[in-house]
Amino acid sequence: MHPTPLKVKQYIKQALHDDQLRAAVAKATATAVEKRQERANETPYWEQLRETAHACKKEVIDHLASYLEQFEKRCAGNGIVVHWAADAAEGREIIGRLARERGVKKIVKSKSLTTEEIGLNEALIGAGIETIETDLGEYIVQLEGKIPSHLTMPALHLSRRDVGRIFSEKLGVPYTDDPNELLGIARKNLREHFLTADMGITGVNFGLADAGSFCVIENEANAHLSLSLPPVHVAVMGIEKLIPSRKDLPVFLKLLAPSATGQRSSSYVNIIGGPSRTPFKEGPKEVHLVLLDNGRSRIVQDAVLRESLYCIRCGACLNTCPVYQQIGGHAYGWVYMGPIGSILIPQYLGEDEGRYPPFMCSLCVACRDNCPVQIDLPGHLLAMRNRVVEAGKSLPAEKAGMRLWAFFAARPLLYRFVTWFPGKLQLLLPGKTAFPAPGYMKERALGRFDSKGFRRRFYTHQKQGG
Amino acid sequence: MTPEENGTVMSRSRRSVLDALAAAGAGGTEPSALDGKRSGVLRAVRHDFSGNTAVLARRFAAELAAADGETIAVKDLKAAADTVRNILKEEGAPTLALTDEKECRSIGAMLEKSGDIDLWRADTAEGEQRKARAAGIRVSLVKAACGIADIGSVGFFYADSGTSYPHFLSETVIVLLPSEDLLPDQFALFETYPESKTNNMVMVNGPSRTADIEKVLILGAHGPRRLVVLLLD
Q: A46-62 and B32-48 helices cross at what angle (nearest 10)?
A: 160
Residues A96 and A128 placed together within one structural domain of the fold: yes
Which of A370, A374, A378, A135 is CA-nearest to residue A259?
A370
pLDDT at A135: 96
Q: Which residues in chain B touch residue A90, judged by CB atoms under 8 angstroms apart?
A: 9, 13
CB proximity list for B208: less than 8 A, separation 6 or greater: A219, A220, A221, A267, A268, B219, B220, B221, B222, B223, B224, B225
Adjacent-strand bridge partners of A286: A232
State the pLDDT at residue B7: 41
> For position B135, what pLDDT does the model report?
94
Residue A312 lies in a domain: no
Determine the residue type at A10. Answer: Q
| Type of residue found at A254 | K
Residue B8 has pLDDT above 50, yes or no: no
Contact: B13, A64; criterion CB under 8 Å: no
- pLDDT value at residue A465: 77
For residue A267, give the nearest of B126, B189, B205 by CB distance: B205
The pLDDT of residue B104: 96
Q: Say whether pLDDT at B6 is over 50.
A: no
Same domain, A229 and A373: no
Structural domain contains residue A65: yes
Instruction: Find, among A377, A300, A296, A382, the residue nearest to A341 by Cα.
Output: A377
Asked if A58 and A88 sit in the same domain, the reply is yes
Number of independent structural domains in chain A? 3
| B53-232: CATH topology | Rossmann fold (3.40.50)
- The answer to the question of residue A264 being in a domain is yes
Which SS3 state, helix, strand or coil, does residue A202 take? strand
Question: How many whole angstroms from its chain centre is CA A262?
Answer: 17
Are A332 and A282 found together in one domain? no
**Closest-CA residue to B26 (of A372, A294, A88, A298):** A298
Tell me which residue in B123, B162, B199 faces A211 most closely, judged by beta carbons.
Answer: B199
Asked if B3 and A229 come within 8 Å (Cβ–Cβ), the reply is: no
Per-residue pLDDT for A452 more than 80? no
Percent of chain A with pLDDT over 90: 78
pLDDT reported for residue B134: 95
Would you state the pLDDT for residue A422? 83
Say whether B72 sits in a helix, a strand or coil.
strand
Which among A36, A50, A54, A219 is the top mutation candidate for probing chain B, defined by the most B β-carbons within 10 Å of its own β-carbon? A219
Looking at the fold, whether A246 and A269 belong to one and the same domain comes out as: yes
Q: Region A270-298: what's the mean pLDDT?
A: 94
Sequence-ordered list of residues with C-beta below 8 angstroms from that of A37, at least 6 positions apart, any chain: none
Percentage with pLDDT > 70 across chain A: 99
Identify the domain boundary among A266, A297, A328.
A297
Chain CA centroid to CA B24, Å: 40
Same domain, A82 and A179: yes
Per-residue model confidence as pLDDT tens digits over B25-82: 877 766 567 888 888 998 888 877 777 889 999 999 999 999 999 999 999 999 999 9
A190 contact residues in B (CB cutoff 8 A): 222
At residue A358 the predicted structure's pLDDT band, cuts being 50, 70 and 90, is very high
Among residues A93, A109, A137, the alpha carbon closest in space to that of A234 is found at A109
Domain end residue (candidates: A394, A410, A435): A394
Parallel, antiparallel, or unpaired for β B70-74 and B226-232? parallel
Q: Helix A19-42 to helix A8-16 angle, to the nearest 10 degrees?
A: 90
Q: Which residues of A touch B66 (CB under 8 A)?
A: 264
- Read off the pLDDT of residues A177-232 as tens digits, 9 standing for 90 and up: 999 999 999 999 999 999 999 999 999 999 999 999 999 999 999 999 999 999 99
Nearest to B135 among A195, A213, A282 (CB): A195
Has residue A352 been placed in a domain? Answer: yes
CB contact under 8 A, B18 and A194: no
CB pairs < 8 Å spanning A and B: 274
Q: State residue B174's pLDDT score.
A: 98
* CATH number where A291 lies: 3.40.50.10420
User: Which of B2, B168, B212 has its CB closest to that of A82?
Assistant: B2
A388, A412: one domain: no
Q: CB–CB of B215/A31 below 8 Å?
A: yes
pLDDT at A259: 97
Residue B221 distance to chain A (closest CA, Å):
5
B147 touches chain A (CB under 8 A): no
Q: Is A461 an 8 Å CB contact of chain B? A: no
Residues 6+ apart with CB under 8 A from B66: A264, B152
**Is the CB of B7 inside 8 Å of chain A's CB atoms?**
no
Tell me what the mean pLDDT of segment A438-453 comes to: 74
Helical packing angle, A179-196 and A160-171, nearest 10°: 40
Q: Is residue A303 in a domain?
A: no
A276 and A372 in a single domain? The answer is: no
Note whether A217 contacts B: Cβ–Cβ < 8 A. no
Mean pLDDT for all residues in chain B: 91
How many CB atoms lie under 10 A from the CB of residue A449? 18
B99 contacts: CB under 8 Å, gap ≥ 6: B121, B122, B123, B140, B141, B142, B143, B161, B162, B163, B166, B167
Q: What's the domain range around A149?
A: 43-297
Contact between B114 and B85 under an 8 Å Cβ cutoff? The reply is: yes
Residues A247 and A373 in one domain: no
Q: What's the Cα-to-Cα distance from B140 to each of A131, A212, B71, B118, B213, rounded to whole Å?
A: 30, 32, 16, 12, 29
What distance in Å separates the CA atoms of residue A369 and residue A367, rounded to the nearest whole number? 5
Q: What are the tens digits of pLDDT across the range A46-100? A: 999 999 999 999 999 999 999 999 999 999 999 999 999 999 999 999 999 999 9
Q: So what's the pLDDT on residue A451?
A: 67
Where residue B10 falls among pLDDT bands split at 50, 70, 90?
low
Same domain, A274 and A344: no
- Residue A321, classified by CB atoms within 10 Å of its CB into exposed (0-12), middle (13-18) or buried (19+), is buried
Nearest residue to B130 (alpha-carbon basis) of B85, B174, B98: B98
Taking only the tens place, the pLDDT of each residue in B131-187 is: 999 999 999 999 999 999 999 999 999 999 889 999 999 999 999 999 999 999 999
DSSP B68: T
Structure-model confidence comparison of residues A370 and B39, the more confident one: A370
Four-residue CA torsion sign, A170, A174, A177, A179: negative
A307 burial class (0-12, 13-18, 19+ CB within 10 angstroms)?
A: buried
At A271, is the secondary structure helix, strand, or coil?
Answer: strand
Region B190-195: what's the mean pLDDT? 96
Is residue B130 classed as helix, strand or coil in its secondary structure?
A: helix
**Same domain as A260, residue A112:** yes
Q: Which residues of B touch A163 (CB under 8 A)?
A: 213
Specify whether A241 is located in the same domain as A354. Answer: no
Label the pairing between strands B153-157 and B146-148: antiparallel
Query: What residues are paired with A270 via a beta bridge?
Result: A216, B202
Distance CA B87, CA B28 (A): 56
Between CA A270 and CA A304 the distance in angstroms is 33
Kindly list the domain boundaries of chain B, sorted by start residue: 53-232
Percent of chain B with pLDDT strictly greater than 70: 94
B16 contacts A194? CB cut-off 8 A: no
A 265-294: CB under 8 A from B: 265-274, 276-277, 279-283, 291, 293
Q: Could A297 and B20 be called an inter-chain contact, meaning their C-beta atoms sit closer than 8 Å?
A: yes
The C-alpha of B144 sits at a distance from chain A's nearest C-alpha, in angstroms, of 14
**pLDDT tens digits for range A375-410:** 999 999 999 999 988 888 888 888 899 899 999 999
**Cβ within 8 Å of residue B201, ≥6 positions away:** A270, A271, B145, B155, B156, B157, B158
Q: Is the predicted pLDDT of residue A441 greater than 80, yes or no?
A: no
Q: Does B212 touch chain A (CB under 8 A)?
A: yes
Candidate from A48, A244, A297 with C-beta closest to B44: A48
Say whether A183 and B221 touch across the interface (CB within 8 A): yes
User: Looking at beta carbons, which pairs linking B39-44 to residues 24 or more positions away fall under 8 Å?
Assistant: B40/A48, B40/A52, B41/A45, B41/A48, B41/A49, B41/A52, B41/A251, B42/B187, B44/A44, B44/A45, B44/A48
C-alpha triplet A124, A182, A200: angle, nearest 5°: 30
Rounded CA-CA distance A194/A220 in Å is 13
pLDDT at residue A446, as a whole number: 78
Across B193-201, average pLDDT: 96
